Structure 1
Amino acid sequence: MKMLVAALALLGLALWPTVGAARDATYQARADQLLSILSAPGGEDTYFSTLFLDAVPVAQWRALAADLRKQYGKPLARGAVQVESPTTGVVEIRYERATIGFTLVVAPQAPNRVVGLQLVGTRQTDDDMDRVMAGIAALPGQAALSIAQLGDAGPVWLHEQHADTLMATGSSFKLYILAELARAVAAGERRWSDVIPLSHKSFSGRLLTTPDGAPMTLHSLALAMIAESDNSAADTLLLALGRTRVDAMVATSGHARPDATLPLLTTAEAFALKMPAHADLARNYAAAKPDQRRAIITANAAQLTAGAVDIGTVADIPTAIDSIEWFATPRDMVRLLDWLRRNGGDALPIMAVNPGIAPADGKRWRYLGYKGGSEPGVIAMNFLVQARDGRWFAVAASWNDSAARVDEPRFVALMTRALNLLAQ
């Protein structure tokens, strides 16, 4: 299944049409034919364009379609077609055990063959939250989740599993930086348009190749930090706002055990500590109390930089995810999301740029804000959503496995199912 999603996502991004328009009847015909193409081998040469088949040869396509049938049963019928333009839309196919949405892109010129296809959402037949919770429980390692409805009296806990367990959350910590920035703007201490230099580059992200000291607005840094999870943006903002102030936001937003994660490390510091050369330093840091950790960071600032990070040494296996990390429980993250709902202001549109799930599933909500985090052995997903009827919810979940990489598509599928059920 991972192979299918990756291949179709690539096509959906790379083969989007830019000119022309096909007749509605032609698009509907291609939508109808998708059922037979998914049901059994045959007809691919006349259905798909050569551009598509150059990227996904017939044999590979047949294997991908067979994988869907194995997982969800036989395709039974074409469901709804949501046309977005004369050449683009979302087509639902009902399988025995699920309804799957595909973005279908048709060439504008005759014979109007399919140039793009992307799986954008799955709804399992007769799914319910108990099945989702069982799926979370079946994950190897440790998984934890909290789903709450948000109101004036605070979160109302709806569905939970190990919700008070401290978990490694990866880049989810960047929400604390965003929250402190929102607080500072609301207090008149900062403006989103304030310009600061890009001063603390980290080891990955788009801004890594931006010239040193490039002038950046606080808004543009926040957008890169949340929508792209850019590490250079996060480290620059954390230190520009002041680590002490961002650390204070951890408690302000409702973290039950802030000493477990403070001080918030920059991404460069965290991964420098994970390097084999700093193993002794990392052990001392993990065993220390927050004030002692701050002193360790200050005393070793010259060593704990992005230049010390060899990302290849931590790219394949979980490394110190139980000791050198950003820790929070799912309930902590729900309370942080609720703080942002009430106080975030212009931070909320920033959170909505990258929905974290397929667009067709994200469109079930009036508002969907997201920030996640991942590294080997860690994945976390945090959603702030508003239903069409105005109700607000938060969904926060993490999966940690110190022994192996986690199956990220499996976790994303579980979170998507939870959100879809919540949206009903």
Structure 2
Amino acid sequence: MRQLAAALILLAMSLIPSPSRAGSDPAYRMRAEQLLGILSAPGGEHAFFSSLFLDAVPLDRWRAVAAELRAAHGKPLAVGAVTRSSPTAGQVEIRYERATVGFSLVVAPEAPNPVVGLHVVGVKAANDTLDKVAAEIEALPGATAFAVARLDDSGPHSIHTYRADAQMAIASSFKLLILAEASRATAAGERRWSDVLPLGPKSFSGRLAGWPDQAPMTLHSLATAMVAESDNCAADTLLLALDREKVDAMLPATGHADLARALPVLTTAEAFALKMPANRDLLARYVAGSLDQRRTLLKEAAARLTTDQVDVGSVAEVPTAIEGAEWFASPRDMIGLLDWLRRHGGDALPIMAVNPGIPPADAKRWRYLGYKGGSEPGVMAMNLLTQGLDGRWYAVSASWNNPAARLDEGRFTALVTRLMNLLAEPATD
């Protein structure tokens, strides 16, 4: 589930009810009962929430959050336990079809006691198991694949897999390869994280797209923007500055099983440009070509493969050439890359932990959680490297492709979050 209202909407796995330290209050109970209807369908929010809440969380954003909860857990069915820690604050459980969701509910002390604070503090799926989550991932429309592995000195050991060797489009997940090469180069003394690099050719998305051309940035700040914010300008700058062929070499170094499909590593500008109708001839040659032929094409057609040749609107709404102009890896390949970063990443590991990929409260179930995902119409991938509270390391990689339709990204994130929480349970017993 997306972090749609960052300061107010927080997800966790286990429900931790607060003990009631106040007597019955009809106004609080009334708002608790009304929450069921507010979550069930749009309407009535202005009478339920205070203007303070709706200033912080606009109505359309709140409705998106409520819709994502329904998509993830089914219809809200009933109000469960209501517990209070003060006359105006406490927790309310709402029983959905597939889970119980806990909310921290705060009301104003003055009549009519509108709701001034609402946080999602717990989501517990009913009788959840890895097999149930796996079945739901497998049933998604299009093609899915995932792998869960425990990592130790002898390498990855599979725990649960589905089509783990299927080559999938992975979108921005490829940026982990660039991070790996930055780690290798700094460890070898070829680079320093403090090296200053000029911001290179602009691509799409991210705050750096609006920065001045050639703006000086450190290797570390570019890597952080690339991973934590998935900034495409940072990724393209690093891919070219570190030397594309050295980044390419990270695929065999980390055990990628289908180099012919994955090489060379495209810049984001090249990938978008290859998707353009005017470049169908280039895309056909690229897909059919050998590695050398592909590298030659990228050099010879460089003028046609820049951002000013791209109509962003033509690729923003529908899946476009996701089986050709893309980055490809299987879940097992990504597990190998994550394990390489675990063993050799060094200063890259804190960079991966800036954006945990799953809701912050769920991320706190782990001693360490590093993440990089990717998404575009028809493509979504999530890759997580984690260390449990007992010190054990795990890697999870999941991908979903559908060339015929956009994906429900919130649903996929919710499924992977459930998977991660189930994986964490032995560490928190």
- Give yes or no for TM over 0.5: yes
Aligned to 1:374: 375
CA contact under 8 A between 1:203 and 1:309: conserved in structure 2? Answer: no
The residue aligned with 2:93 is 93
Query: Structure 1: 5+ residue runs without aligned partners?
Result: 14-23
Aligned to 2:394: 393
Q: Secondary structure at the match of 1:212?
A: coil
- Indicate which of 11, 35, 39 corresponds to 1:38: 35
Amino acid at match of 1:312: G
Structure 1: how far apart are the matches of 2:249 and 2:69?
52
**1:177-326 alignment to 2 at 5 Å?**
177-326=178-327
Query: Deviations along 1:268-317, whole A, 9 cap, x unmatched?
Result: 00100101100011011011111110000011111111111111001111
1:9 partner SS: coil
- CA distance in 2 between counterparts of 1:209 and 1:43 reads 40
Question: Is 2:358–2:413's contact at 8 Å kept on the other side of the alignment?
Answer: yes
CA distance in 2, matches of 1:269, 1:138: 33
Q: What's the C-alpha RMSD, in Å, of the aligned pairs?
A: 3.5
RCO higher in structure (CA 8 A, sep ≥6): 2
The verdict on how the C-alpha distance between 1:204 and 1:60 changes in structure 2, with shifts beyond 3 A counting, is closer
CA distance in 1, matches of 2:45, 2:333: 50
Equivalent residues in 2 for 1:42-81, closer than 5 Å:
48-53=49-54, 55-56=58-59, 71-78=75-82
Distance 1:269 1:46, change over 3 A: closer
Q: 1:404 to 1:70 in 2, by over 3 A?
A: closer
- Cross-structure match for 2:8: 12
Matched residue SS, 1:295: helix
The one-letter code matched in structure 1 to 2:95 is Y
Q: Which amino acid aligns with 1:366?
A: R
Say if 1:192 and 1:218, in contact at 8 Å, map to a contact too. yes
Q: String of CA shifts for 1:203-238, please: whole Å, max 9, x gaps.
A: 221101000010000000000000110000000000
C-alpha contact (below 8 Å) 2:386/2:393 kept by paired residues: yes
Cα drift, residue 48 of structure 1: 3.0
Listed one character per residue, the Cα deviations across residues 168-204 of structure 1 (whole Å, up to 9, x for unaligned) are 0000000000000011111111111110100121122
Q: Deviation per CA, 1:230-279: give whole Å up to 9, x if none.
A: 00000000000000100001110111112211000000001001011000
The corresponding residue for 2:124 is: 123
CA shift for structure 1 position 118: 4.4
TM-score normalized by the length of structure 1: 0.85
1:166 aligns with 2:167: yes
The farther-off stretch of 167-176 and 185-194 is 185-194
Deviation, structure 1 residue 38:
2.2
1:147 alignment partner, SS class: strand
1:343 aligns with 2:332: no
Q: Give the CA deviation at 1:51.
A: 2.7
Q: How far, CA to CA, are the matches of 2:159 and 2:387 in structure 1? A: 15
Gaps of 5+ in 2: 10-19
User: Aligned-pair distance for 1:136?
Assistant: 1.0
Percent of pairs identical after alignment?
58
Give 1:410 deviation, angstroms: 1.1
CA contact (8 A) 2:8 2:119 kept: yes
Contact in 1 for aligned 2:77/2:95 (Cα 8 Å):
yes
TM-score of the superposed pair, with normalisation by structure 2:
0.84
Task: Determine helix, strand or coil for the equivalent of 2:249.
Answer: helix
SS of 2:294's equivalent? helix
Question: Quick one: structure 1 residues 365 and 374, their matched pair in 2 at CA, closer, same or farther if it must change by over 3 Å?
Answer: same
CA displacement at 1:56 relative to structure 2: 3.1
- Corresponding position: 1:139 with 2:140: yes
C-alpha distance in 1, partners of 2:44/2:297? Answer: 65
Aligned in 2, Cα 1:329/1:80: closer, same or farther, shift over 3 Å? farther
Amino acid paired to 1:73: L
Question: What letter corresponds to residue 133 of structure 1 in structure 2?
Answer: A
Give the conservation status (yes or no) of the 8 Å contact 2:193–2:219: yes
- 8 Å CA contact 1:35–1:77 kept in 2: the answer is no
How far the C-alpha of 1:66 sits from its partner, in A, is 10
- Structure 2 distance, partners of 1:237, 1:124, is 41
Q: Quick one: distance in 1 between partners of 2:90 and 2:323?
A: 42
Residue 214 to residue 319, structure 1, CA distance change in 2 (3 Å): same
Return the offset for 1:114: 4.0
1:29-54 alpha-carbon deviations (Å, 9 max, x no partner): 89987643423579977863223356
